[in-house]
Structures are given as C-alpha cells and as structure tokens.
Structure 1
C-alpha cells in the first residue's frame, strides 16, 4: 500500500492490546451508564467509537462477530430490548468495514467527519428498534451523541495508535 507523504510507518498492533482496549471501552460504557448522568441520551457510546476504530484499522482481528457479541453484552447490561445494541453495533461494524480502505487515506479530522454519518445511522437504527419494541422516545438530546462520538475520534486515534508509534531500535541498517 502506498503511504501518504508524512505518514508514519506503524508497528503491528498487539492483539492483546486490541482486546483489552475493547473490554476497557465496554467497562467505561457500563460505568458511564451507572454514573452521574445515568442513561442520558446525549452521552457518547465509547464502545462504538473503539469498535469502529479497530474495525477500520484491524478488520481481520475485529469484525462483525465481535461487534455482535459486545452489543449483546451491552444489551444485557442495560436490561433493555435484547439485540438493540447488537444490531446497531453490527451495522456500524459492517459500514466501517465498507469504508475502511478509503478512510485510512484521510487525515484524522477528515476521518472524524466521515465516521459521523456511521454513528448517526447506528443511533437511528437503535432508536428505531427501541421504538418498535415499545420503548419511549429518549428526547432530541440524542442527536448530540453522534457528534460527541465523532469528536472523540481524534482522541481515540491518538490513544490507541500510540503503542504502534513506538520506534523500534533504529540503527544504520534499519532506518525505519
């Protein structure tokens, strides 16, 4: 693959780090739901952001099946309609896989603008399933959630790519 000018060559991602970051995002989502705001509609879904990030950067390691399992775990945690998050995360993962090659060619702020519609579709699907299951409308504040998730994209990119940016022991024979 031809790299953009100025783009740093990354080390391979550690699979253990990928799965630890996904479990940490799941736990952060669970803490966020039990925290100060409760299940506020405007709070960003950190697990969705991390799932999209790893689906874009490592599509062979984190796929639609992983998104489905994490979605079921979120459904069980929230005690809502079983399959609501699973369906939203699965659709989000599928959409992320469809754009992952094109998305990596852009800068991180441009990537954030391009994943915003993916997050909006996922929240729309989740809302549709909730309403079809007899739930209540959470309010118009939920429009803020995809915007906050897109704003989290640069932060997540910096944090999760940091271990791959470590320079291996450079020497005269290995300048990269």
Structure 2
C-alpha cells in the first residue's frame, strides 16, 4: 500500500496490547454500567469503539468472532437477551472490516464522521432486538450514544496508535 505524504511508518501492533485494550474496554463498560448513571441510554459503548478501531486497523487479528465473544460477555453482564449485543457487535465488526481499506486513507476527523453510521447501525440493531423481545423504549437520549462514540474516535485513535508510533531504535541517520 502506498503511504500518504507526511505519515509516519507504524510499528507492528503487539497482540497483547490489542487484546489488553479490548479487555480494558470491556471492564470500563462494566464499571460504567455499575456507575453513577447505570445503564443510561446516552452513555457511549467503549467496547464497540475499541472493536471498530481494531477491526479497521488489524482486521487479520480482530474480527467477527472476537466481536461475537465480547458481545456475549456484555449480554451476560447486563442481563440482556443473550445475543443482543453479540449480534450488534458482529454486524459492527463486519461493516468496519468492509470499509477498512477506504477509511484508512482519510484523516482522523473525517474517519470519525464516516464511522458514525456504523455506530448508529449497531445501536439500531440492539434497540430493535430489545424491542422485539418486549423491552421498553429507552428514550430519544439513545441518539446521543453514537454521536459521542464518533466524537471519541480521534481520542481512541491517538491513544491506541501511540505504542506503534514510537521508534524501535532512535538513530540520527535513520530517516524512518
């Protein structure tokens, strides 16, 4: 793949860092659900955000299977209908993998605008499964969650790409 001018060549992603960030996002989601607001409809889904990030940047390592397993974990933790989050995370991961080659050519703020429909689709799937199972409508505050997730995209991009941007062996004579 041809690199765009002005972009730094990244180191390979450490698999332990990838899986550690996913587990950390799962734990943050669990803490967020038990926190002050509980399971508020407007709260962003940090695990979905990190899943989309790694599905775009490392589709060989994080795919639909990992999204399904993490979705089952979230379903069990929240006491939701088994498969609700698993279905939305798998669709989210599939859509992220489908657009990952095109998305990486854009700058990060533009990427945030382009992943917004993915987050809207994931929340719509989870909402429709909840409503079909007889759950109540959480309110229109639910529309804020995908917006907040797309606004967090640049922050997550900077944080999760930090370990790959460091130089392996700094040298004054090495251009890369």
Task: Pick the TM interval, shorter chain.
Answer: over 0.9
Q: How does 1:134-173 map to 2 (within 5 A)?
A: 134-171=134-171
Question: In the TM superposition, what is the alpha-carbon distance from 1:174 to its structure 2 partner?
Answer: 3.7
Question: In the TM superposition, what is the alpha-carbon distance from 1:58 to its structure 2 partner?
Answer: 0.1
Q: Distance in 2 between matches of 1:163 and 1:94?
A: 26
Q: Distance in 1 between matches of 2:86 and 2:169?
A: 42
Deviations 1:5-31 (A, max 9, x none): 111110000000000000000000000
Residue 2 of structure 1 corresponds to which residue in structure 2?
Answer: 2
Residue 133 of structure 2 corresponds to which residue in structure 1?
Answer: 133
Deviations 1:26-55 (A, max 9, x none): 000000000000000000000000000000
Please give the TM-score of this superposition, normalised by the length of structure 2. Answer: 0.98
The total of aligned residue pairs comes to: 176
Q: Distance in 1 between matches of 2:34 and 2:80?
A: 14
Question: In the TM superposition, what is the alpha-carbon distance from 1:80 to its structure 2 partner?
Answer: 1.2
Where in structure 1 are there 5+ consecutive unaligned residues? none
Please give the TM-score of this superposition, normalised by the length of structure 1. Answer: 0.98
Measured on the aligned residues, the alpha-carbon RMSD in Å equals 0.9
Question: In the TM superposition, what is the alpha-carbon distance from 1:170 to its structure 2 partner?
Answer: 3.5
Question: In the TM superposition, what is the alpha-carbon distance from 1:172 to its structure 2 partner?
Answer: 6.1
User: Deviation above 4 Å: which 4+ runs of structure 1?
Assistant: none
Deviations 1:56-100 (A, max 9, x none): 000000000000000000000000111000000000000000000
Q: Distance in 1 between matches of 2:80 and 2:172?
A: 59
